[in-house]
Amino acid sequence: MKKVLVVDDNQLVGKLVELYLGKLGCDVDVCNTPFGVLNKVKEYQPDVVLLDMKMPGLSGRSVAGLLKKNENGITCKTVLFSSEDEKVQRELLEEGLVDGYFLKGPSFDGLKETIDRVLGTGSGATLCEA
């Protein structure tokens, strides 16, 4: 079972993603603040972090940079999960700060496929297989 940490200051969005991925069989945890994410990642040890870009106090770019530094032995993948302009998200991907991105919209269509691609489980395997 894959573990996913959702980091989003919007509690409703966090809960909806938790329900969506939970129905697929994932183990999901939600963090509604960017503060303490490194500790949460060390404790929870997710396979992937879904990271919002626009959060009060600390941007998703900053959090992604901290996760990428890997100073604490963090080995998870990071997927931007934001309504931020796709060009901005693509730039962060090209810079190597994140492993993928998913544009927030009215549905989560394509989210599973994005995570599968980032985790390298797209060839027949599914994200939330037990």
* 67 within 8 A of 42, measured Cβ to Cβ: no
Q: Which domains does the chain have, with CATH numbers?
A: 3-119 (3.40.50.2300)
Distance CA 117, CA 53 (A): 20
* 49 within 8 A of 78, measured Cβ to Cβ: yes
Closest to 121 in 3D by CA, of 47, 71, 70? 47
Q: How high is the mean pLDDT of the chain?
A: 87
Which one-letter amino acid corresponds to residue 102?
A: F
Residue 59's pLDDT band, with cuts at 50, 70 and 90, is confident
Whether residue 68 is predicted with pLDDT greater than 90 in this model: the reply is: no
Whether residue 13 is predicted with pLDDT greater than 80 in this model: the reply is: yes
* 77 within 8 A of 41, measured Cβ to Cβ: no
**Looking at the DSSP assignment, which residues form a beta bridge with residue 7?**
31, 51
